[in-house]
Amino acid sequence: MTAFLTFHWGWLVGALLLGLAMGWISVVQHGEGLSKRAVQSIALVVIILIGVAVARVVPGRPGYWLDLGLVLFAAYLIGCAVGSALRDRLVARQMAAGRIPVRTDPPGPPS
Amino acid sequence: MRGLFRWSRKWWPGLIPLAVLWGLAAWYETVPLEQDLAADTAAALKNDVLDKTRIDVAGRDITFSADAFSEEGRRSALTSVETVPGVRLVNDRTRLVPEAKPYVWTAQRDVVRVTLSGSTPLPAIKARLAEAAKAALNGVEVVDQTSFARGAPQRFDAAVLLLIEQVARLKEGKVTLSDKAVSLSGMARELGGREAIWASLRNLPEGYSVAANDIAAPPYVFQANKDPVGGTLTLGGHVPDNKVHDELVEAAKRKFFGEKVTDNLKASIGAPKGFAEAVTRALGALSRLSTGSLEVADREVKLSGDALYDRAANQIRQGLAKELPEGWKAKAEISVKPAAAPVDASVCQRLFSEVLGEARIRFESGSATISADSAGLLDRLAEIALRCPAAAIEIIGHTDSDGDAAANQALSEARAKAVADYLVRAGLPADRFKTSGQGSSVPVADNDTEEGKAKNRRIDFLVR
């Protein structure tokens, strides 16, 4: 796995940055986003794909592309999570300073 | 954590550029990744001994086909491939090199090339044997068609290296090693090659044996040519060693009194059994011819030429076959020299004196048996006697002064008689000859020296 990650580090960094950007935006983005059900469906599909990849069922190049896709997706998710967390902290700090009025939409219970 | 979940619901738009990124990564990285893995796999297999190795990479999966030389080697090679970093799956298409039973190795030599075929156990041995063949067969093309097989007998390479040396000694032929049994056939390149091969095969590794050795050698040839015009006897071809060489040249000098012996003989092993005896006898027969040639090839004696008179031709034809050692064959093509013109008695006397001046009739020591070496001389005397049919001839025996006078007298008489008998057998009428002996009473030289004694032991011809 190390060799795989080393070989594709550039692309992984790309996916990570993409995730960071997406995570950064998502915190202050308006709208509902996907429904809970849709997120669960996506998660289920991803879990199944991970299962397929770990079981090494898909041979040859498609197998490699699946691995690559999942690793990029993982990097993206990490990026998203880190980006969101960082933005959330920043927002929280600014709110505490009272400089910018922030409205989270939709309003929900404090995290 | 709730926040993370809430934000994550808004992360999906990034999946679209992520998908594009994924597509680009797959597009640009698949082939380089495969090439990397192929190179790494080949490097990992560098120390494994394999044949027909093939590495096919699809994505991160490797299809590995190869022939291994042992189960251990096969497993080790497989592990080497499996542990290459980045490899996901290995499709194992390895197998063991087939086992050969019996284990056969062959070298076939023809005029332009040597073809190696059959089985060899390992690439290193195959390369070494091909290299040895090229070195041994200096300049001859070597075609290596051997394939790998397991099950070689112990010390296979040592045995084959020895056999390659033997192939170099062949002009054409085939050498086969089947398990531990060696078979050879064909023709040796040189005289003595067959014997050299036999000698070398004794050095085969323990347990190896010669099942068949049908190597033939080029014929062992000896030639002699009697040329009365040039007055030469030319000896050519081969003799087994220096001792036989000297003996044959000495015999030739005794038998051919009028000819100068030209010696072109070369020593070589490989002579057939009884060679010296057969050649000595055949030279005796040649000495009786006026002109002729002798060719001895292996165990066949071929004599051709002109005898001095009719009966001599018959005697030579029949005598040669009988005189040769067992297993030898004679082929005599003897014609008769046209009879010379008759001459006067006085000319006959002169001719006798000339011939007897050149050589003496030899007898066995202390006996009246004519030596075989004198057959040629006696034939010349008979031929002269035939030219003056009207002349009566007195044959007189003499001895040296050694021994008892009475015994010498008897011996000289008996020897004269023996010579007359020879001439009668040659077809001359017995009543033309009168024999007598004078013992040691009429010496022609000093009896005090060996040389003088030899001159005194003589037969004189007196034409009346």
In Å, how far are B29, B190, B292, B425 from B276, measured between CA atoms? 87, 21, 20, 29
B9 with A3: Cβ contact below 8 A = no
In a domain, A106, yes or no: no
Please compute the mean of the pLDDT values over residues B10-27 and round it to a whole number: 93
Option in B10, B22, B88 nearest A26 (CB): B10
Option in A25, A64, A69 nearest B59 (CB): A64
* Count of CB pairs separated by less than 8 Å, A with B: 119
Please compute the mean of the pLDDT values over residues B201-211 and round it to a whole number: 93
In a domain, A105, yes or no: no
Option in B9, B15, B30 nearest A61 (CB): B30
The torsion angles phi and psi of B301, rounded to 5 degrees, stand at -105, 125
CB of B27 within 8 Å of a chain A CB? The answer is no
**Tell me: the pLDDT tens digits for B285-336?**
999 999 999 999 989 999 999 999 999 999 999 988 888 998 999 999 999 9
Q: Which residues of A touch B36 (CB under 8 A)?
A: 7
**Tell me: the pLDDT tens digits for B331-340?**
999 999 998 8
Count of domains for chain A: 1
CB of B56 within 8 Å of a chain A CB? The answer is no
Q: Which residues of A touch B10 (CB under 8 A)?
A: 25-26, 29, 31, 33-34
Domain containing A84 equals 10-97
Option in A8, A39, A80 nearest B14 (CB): A80
**Tell me: the pLDDT tens digits for A69-89?**
999 999 999 999 999 999 989
In a domain, A58, yes or no: yes
Instruction: Write the CB contacts of B316 (distance below 8 Å, at least 6 apart in sequence).
Output: B285, B288, B289, B303, B307, B332, B334
Instruction: Give the integer Cα–Cα distance in Å for B313 and B324.
Output: 17
Q: What does the mean pLDDT of chain A come to?
A: 87
CATH 3.30.565.10 correct for B221-336: no
Domain boundaries, chain B: 27-96, 104-216, 221-336, 345-463
Rounded to 10 deg, the angle between the A36-54 and A60-97 helix axes is 140
pLDDT at B118 over 60: yes
Q: Which residues of B touch A22 (CB under 8 A)?
A: 11, 13-14
Hey, do B104-216 and B345-463 end up sharing a CATH topology, with the first three levels equal?
no
Helices (H) and strands (E) in chain B — how many of each? 13, 20
Q: Which residues of B touch A42 (CB under 8 A)?
A: 12
Cβ-contact B191, B269 below 8 angstroms: yes
Please compute the mean of the pLDDT values over residues B80-95 and round it to a whole number: 93
pLDDT at A27 over 60: yes
Q: How far A92 CA lies from chain B's nearest CA (Å)?
A: 12
Q: How far B80 CA lies from chain A's nearest CA (Å)?
A: 16
pLDDT at A107 over 50: no
CB of A11 within 8 Å of a chain B CB? The answer is yes
CA angle at B460 for the pair B454 and B464, rounded to the nearest 5°: 170
Kindly identify which residue of chain B lies nearest to residue A87, measuring between CA atoms: B7
Option in A18, A42, A60 nearest B21 (CB): A18
pLDDT at B277 over 70: yes
**Per-residue pLDDT at B400:** 87
Instruction: Write the CB contacts of B436 (distance below 8 Å, at least 6 apart in sequence).
Output: B394, B395, B396, B397, B413, B416
CB of B82 within 8 Å of a chain A CB? The answer is no
Q: Count CA atoms closer than 13 A to A22's CA, side-chain side.
A: 28
Q: Could you tell me where the DSSP H helices lie in B184-326?
A: 193-201, 242-255, 275-287, 310-323
Distance of CA B328 to the CA centre of its chain: 19
CB of A50 within 8 Å of a chain B CB? The answer is no
CATH class assigned to B104-216: alpha beta
CA-wise closest residue to A59 among B21, B66, B91, B38:
B91
What pTM was estimated for this model as a whole? 0.63
**Tell me: the pLDDT tens digits for B38-54?**
999 999 999 888 988 99
ipTM comes to 0.86
Q: What does the mean pLDDT of chain B come to?
A: 91
B345-463 homologous superfamily: OmpA-like domain (3.30.1330.60)
CA-wise closest residue to A79 among A30, A24, A9:
A24
**Tell me: the pLDDT tens digits for B359-390?**
889 888 888 899 888 999 999 999 999 998 88
Q: For a pLDDT cut of 70, what percent of chain B falls above it?
A: 100
**Per-residue pLDDT at B1:** 60
A26 with B25: Cβ contact below 8 A = no
Cβ-contact B257, B376 below 8 angstroms: yes
CB of B46 within 8 Å of a chain A CB? The answer is no
Cβ-contact A15, B18 below 8 angstroms: yes
